[in-house]
C-alpha cells in the first residue's frame, strides 16, 4: 500500500468544505496575465485562513486550450502556461503542510485531438486498431456524407466531425475533444495508470469530469429528437448515465483503496434524478457527486425544501454524504443567478453551509463577486460562444480573475494584467478591502466556516428536522442544538425560535419586546441559531 499520506481515517469528505480553484483565474505567479500553479501555491495560506478543508483544482494538464484545459493532450504533464511538474509537486507539498487536501480534475470522457493516441489514429487511417480506442464510424447517406446518428454536441451542432478519409469521429463537446471508447481495455488500463500517477504524487482525490458520459448505449442509437442539450442538464440520453459506467467506477474504487489516507473521487454526473446520482455513490464506487439538482433550484422556500429532502433521501440508502454547491466555473455566479443581489447571495451561503454533508465554494463567491455580464465579444474564450444554436456561451463571466488588493485592475492578481478584464467596481470587493470588515462577505464566510468547523451539530449528517415556519421561510434543526432559518421572501417575517441568534447573513435579529423567543427575520436573510 502506498504511504504518501499518513493521515488517520476520518471520513473527511463527509463534512469537508472544498474550495474550487480555476487555475487561470486565481492568481498569477509569473506576471503573464494568466493564473498558474505558482500563484495558487503563494495564495494557499489565504485558503487555510478562510477555513476550507480541501482545494479542488480545475485542469492544468498539457492542452491546446480549445476548452480551457478540458481538452487534455497529456494527462501526466503540466501545461507550460501553468508551470511544470515540479510546481505541481511543490503545491501538493505546501498544501499538505498547511493541512489542506488537494483534489485534481481528471477528464476521462474525452481528450484533445492533439493527444498522441488520436493523432496516430487519424494518421493511420480507416482500419487502424488505434481508432478502436475512440468512436470512429462510417457516415450515413449514399456516400457517407451524413453523420452516423443524430447526436448533438453539448456545444451545439452535430456530435460528429468527418475526416478527409471519409470516416466520422464522435465528440460530445467540441470537435477538438474526441470521445474515448470505454469498451476498449486499453482505455480502461490507461486511466487506472493515470490515477496511480497522481495518487503517487500525493493528491487526495479526483473530480471526475463528465462522469456520466463514458459509456454510450450499444449501437449508438439515434436520440430521435432535435432537442439541443443543456450543460448541467438532466435529459435521458443514449450517451449519458448508462448503467455500464458503474463497472468502471468499481475498478477505480479499487485503485483509490490501494492508497492510505482516504483518497476520494467526486462525480460530475448529470442525471435525471437524485436517485440516479446516488447509484454512482454505492459503497464500492465513488465517494461524492455534485448536487446539480440543488444548484439549479430557485430562491423559493418550497422548491429548496423539496430538493433538500430529495437529496438527503437519495444519499441515505447508499451511505454517501450529500453535497451542496451554489456556483462553479460553468454557471452564472449565484449572486447574479438567484437575483436579489448580495443579501440573497449571503443568505444562500449560510443555508448551504448549514446543511448536512459536504459543501463546495467556488473561488470568489466568498468575496460576493457578481457575474461579469458585459465582457466584449473579442475577449471571450468559451467555445460554445462561437457556436450557433449552442449553449449561451457566457461561461467566461464567472471566470474573470479574482481581485486580491489595490484600487485598480488587475487588483493584485499579478503584475501583467489579467486574461479577462476585471470590472472597476471590484476594487471594493478585493480580499484586502474586505479583510477585517465585520460586515463584509469575506468575513461572513470566515466566521461561518469557523463556526461550522467547531459546532458539533454542523458538517456530516444525513437528515434535518423541519420546523413550522411562515410561508416562504425555511426553518430546520440539526441534532446537537443548532437550527437555521431562511426568509426567501421580500418582506420581514416573525418567527419563534427556542434559542439565541448565532450568526446572520444580515443584521442580527432582535427579540421582539414583549414576545419572548420571537424574532423578526428580515427579507432575504438566513440566521443560525444556538439552542
Is the pLDDT score of 314 beyond 80?
Answer: yes
Instruction: Give the pLDDT score at 218.
Output: 96
Q: Hunting for cell 439515434 — which residue is that? A: 222
Q: In sequence order, what DSSP letters do the residues of 25-91 get, joined into one string?
A: GT--SSSSSS--HHHHHHHHHHHHHHT-SEEEEPP-EE---TTTT-S-SEEEEE-TTT--HHHHHHH
Strand partners, 100: none
- Mark 474-487 as b/e (b = at least 16 C-beta within 10 Å): bbbbbeeebbbbbb
Is the pLDDT score of 175 beyond 80?
Answer: yes
Could you write out the three-class secondary structure of 336-387?
A: HHCCCHHHHHHHHHHHHHHCCCEEEEECCHHHCCCCCCCCCHHHCCCHHHHC
Q: How far is CA 195 from CA 46, 191, 212, in A?
A: 28, 6, 18
CB 327 within 8 A of CB 362: yes
Planar angle of CA 221, 223, 228, nearest 5 degrees: 145
At residue 359, φ and ψ (nearest 5 deg) are -125, 150
| pLDDT digits 0-9 by tens, 350-373 | 999 999 999 999 999 999 999 998
Alpha-carbon span 130 to 148, nearest angstrom: 19
Structure confidence at residue 396 as a pLDDT band (50, 70, 90):
confident
Planar angle of CA 405, 80, 362, nearest 5 degrees: 45
| pLDDT digits 0-9 by tens, 401-454 | 999 999 999 999 999 999 999 999 999 999 999 999 999 999 999 999 999 999
Alpha-carbon span 459 to 452, nearest angstrom: 7
Instruction: Give the pLDDT score at 226.
Output: 60
Q: What is the DSSP letter of 322?
A: P
Taking the CA atoms of residue 198, residue 204, residue 207 and residue 212 in that order, the dihedral angle to the nearest 10 degrees is 90
Instruction: Give the pLDDT score at 384.
Output: 53
**232, HSE (Cβ side, Cα atoms, 13 Å):** 19
Task: Provide the sign of the torsion angle of the four alpha carbons 62, 65, 66, 71, taken in this order.
Answer: positive
CB 57 within 8 A of CB 104: yes
Instruction: Give the pLDDT score at 146.
Output: 96
| pLDDT average, residue stretch 95-118 | 98
Residue 152 appears among annotated catalytic residues: no
3-7, 118-122, 338-342, 457-461: the lowest-pLDDT one: 3-7
SS3 326: coil
Is the pLDDT score of 233 beyond 70?
Answer: no
Instruction: Give the pLDDT score at 287.
Output: 98
Cα-trace Rg, the chain: 23
Is the pLDDT score of 506 beyond 60?
Answer: yes
Residue 74 appears among annotated catalytic residues: no
Alpha-carbon span 511 to 517, nearest angstrom: 7
63-77, 102-116, 385-399, 474-488: the lowest-pLDDT one: 385-399
Q: In sequence order, what DSSP letters do the residues of 132-164 get, joined into one string?
A: GGBTEEPPBSTTS-B-SS--B-TTSSBSEEE-T
Q: How far is CA 446 from CA 143, 442, 443, 529, in A?
A: 63, 6, 5, 17
Q: 28, 209, 371, 396: which is the annotated catalytic residue?
A: 209
Q: Hunting for cell 465513488 — which residue is that? A: 286
Instruction: Give the pLDDT score at 382.
Output: 59
pTM: 0.94
Q: How far is CA 259 from CA 75, 200, 263, 477, in A?
A: 20, 9, 7, 37
Instruction: Give the pLDDT score at 507.
Output: 92
135-144, 279-288, 379-388: the lowest-pLDDT one: 379-388
Alpha-carbon span 157 to 160, nearest angstrom: 9
216-225, 343-352, 353-362: the lowest-pLDDT one: 216-225
Q: Percentage of the chain with pLDDT > 90? A: 87
Nearest residue to 381 via CA among 391, 360, 395, 392: 395
Is the pLDDT score of 31 beyond 50?
Answer: yes
Is the pLDDT score of 3 beyond 60?
Answer: no
Measure CA 259 to chain center: 24
- State the chain's mean pLDDT as an integer: 93
Structure confidence at residue 304 as a pLDDT band (50, 70, 90):
very high
Structure confidence at residue 391 as a pLDDT band (50, 70, 90):
very low
At residue 529, φ and ψ (nearest 5 deg) are -125, 140
Instruction: Give the pLDDT score at 9.
Output: 66
Instruction: Give the pLDDT score at 16.
Output: 98
Is the pLDDT score of 1 beyond 50?
Answer: no
Q: 258, 284, 437, 465: which is the annotated catalytic residue?
A: 258
More confident residue, 3 or 268: 268
| Residue 529 grid cell | 441559531
| pLDDT average, residue stretch 80-89 | 98
Instruction: Give the pLDDT score at 380.
Output: 62
| pLDDT digits 0-9 by tens, 146-173 | 999 999 998 888 999 999 999 999 999 9
Is the pLDDT score of 73 beyond 80?
Answer: yes
Instruction: Give the pLDDT score at 390.
Output: 36
Instruction: Give the pLDDT score at 272.
Output: 87
Structure confidence at residue 2 as a pLDDT band (50, 70, 90):
very low
More confident residue, 226 or 114: 114
| pLDDT average, residue stretch 186-204 | 98
Q: In sequence order, what DSSP letters do the residues of 79-130 get, joined into one string?
A: -TTT--HHHHHHHHHHHHHTT-EEEEEE--SB--TTSHHHHHHHHH-TT-GG
Instruction: Give the pLDDT score at 227.
Output: 60
Instruction: Give the pLDDT score at 303.
Output: 98
Is the pLDDT score of 392 beyond 60?
Answer: no
Is the pLDDT score of 51 beyond 60?
Answer: yes
At residue 90, φ and ψ (nearest 5 deg) are -65, -40
Alpha-carbon span 305 to 476, nearest angstrom: 10
Instruction: Give the pLDDT score at 157.
Output: 87
102-106, 330-334, 342-346, 428-432: the lowest-pLDDT one: 330-334
Amino acid at each position: 500500500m502506498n504511504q504518501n499520506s499518513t493521515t488517520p481515517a476520518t471520513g473527511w469528505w463527509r463534512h469537508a468544505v472544498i474550495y474550487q480553484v480555476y487555475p487561470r483565474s486565481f492568481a498569477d505567479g509569473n506576471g503573464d496575465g494568466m493564473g498558474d500553479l505558482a500563484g495558487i501555491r503563494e495564495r494557499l495560506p489565504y485558503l487555510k485562513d478562510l477555513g476550507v478543508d480541501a482545494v479542488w483544482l480545475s485542469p492544468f494538464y498539457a492542452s491546446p486550450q480549445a476548452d480551457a484545459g478540458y481538452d487534455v493532450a497529456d494527462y501526466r504533464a503540466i501545461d507550460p502556461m501553468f508551470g511544470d511538474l515540479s510546481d505541481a509537486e511543490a503545491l501538493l507539498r505546501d498544501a499538505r503542510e498547511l493541512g489542506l487536501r488537494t483534489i485534481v480534475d481528471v477528464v476521462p470522457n474525452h481528450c484533445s485531438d492533439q493527444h498522441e493516441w488520436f493523432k496516430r489514429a487519424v494518421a493511420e487511417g480507416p482500419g487502424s486498431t488505434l481508432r478502436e480506442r475512440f468512436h470512429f464510424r462510417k457516415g450515413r447517406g449514399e456516400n457517407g456524407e451524413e453523420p452516423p446518428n443524430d447526436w448533438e454536441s453539448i456545444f451545439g451542432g452535430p456530435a460528429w466531425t468527418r475526416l478527409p478519409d471519409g470516416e466520422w469521429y464522435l465528440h460530445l463537446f467540441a470537435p477538438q475533444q474526441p470521445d474515448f471508447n470505454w469498451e476498449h481495455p486499453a482505455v480502461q488500463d490507461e486511466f487506472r495508470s493515470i490515477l496511480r500517477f497522481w495518487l503517487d504524487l500525493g493528491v487526495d482525490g479526483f473530480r471526475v469530469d463528465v462522469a456520466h458520459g463514458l459509456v454510450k448505449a450499444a449501437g449508438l442509437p439515434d436520440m430521435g429528437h432535435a432537442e439541443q442539450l443543456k450543460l448541467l442538464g438532466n435529459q435521458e440520453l443514449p450517451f449519458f448515465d448508462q448503467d455500464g459506467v458503474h463497472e468502471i467506477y468499481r475498478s477505480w474504487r479499487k485503485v483509490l483503496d490501494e492508497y492510505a489516507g482516504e483518497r476520494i473521487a467526486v462525480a460530475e454526473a448529470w442525471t435525471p434524478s437524485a436517485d440516479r446520482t446516488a447509484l454512482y455513490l454505492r459503497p464500492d464506487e465513488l465517494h461524492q457527486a455534485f448536487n446539480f439538482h440543488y444548484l439549479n433550484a430557485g430562491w423559493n422556500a418550497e422548491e429548496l425544501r423539496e430538493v433538500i429532502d430529495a437529496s438527503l433521501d437519495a444519499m441515505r440508502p447508499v451511505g454517501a454524504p450529500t453535497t451542496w454547491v451554489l456556483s462553479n466555473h460553468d454557471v452564472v455566479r449565484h449572486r447574479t443567478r438567484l437575483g436579489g443581489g448580495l443579501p440573497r447571495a449571503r443568505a444562500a451561503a449560510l443555508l448551504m453551509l448549514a446543511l448536512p454533508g459536504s459543501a463546495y465554494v467556488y473561488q470568489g463567491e466568498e468575496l460576493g463577486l457578481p457575474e461579469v455580464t458585459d465582457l466584449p465579444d473579442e475577449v471571450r474564450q468559451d467555445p460554445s460562444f462561437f457556436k450557433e444554436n449552442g449553449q449561451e456561451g457566457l461561461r467566461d463571466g464567472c471566470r474573470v480573475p479574482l481581485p486580491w488588493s489595490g484600487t485598480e485592475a488587475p487588483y493584485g492578481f499579478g503584475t501583467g494584467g489579467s486574461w479577462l478584464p476585471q470590472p472597476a467596481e471590484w476594487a471594493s470587493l478585493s480580499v484586502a478591502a474586505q479583510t477585517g470588515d465585520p460586515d463584509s462577505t469575506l468575513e461572513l464566510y470566515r466566521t461561518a466556516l469557523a463556526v461550522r468547523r467547531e459546532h458539533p451539530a454542523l458538517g456530516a449528517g444525513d437528515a434535518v428536522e423541519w420546523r413550522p415556519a411562515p410561508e416562504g421561510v425555511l426553518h430546520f434543526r440539526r441534532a446537537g442544538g443548532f437550527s437555521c432559518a431562511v426568509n426567501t421572501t421580500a418582506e420581514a417575517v416573525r418567527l419563534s425560535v427556542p434559542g439565541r441568534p448565532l450568526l446572520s447573513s444580515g443584521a442580527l435579529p432582535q427579540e421582539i419586546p414583549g414576545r419572548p423567543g420571537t424574532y423578526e427575520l428580515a427579507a432575504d436573510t438566513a440566521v443560525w441559531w444556538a439552542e
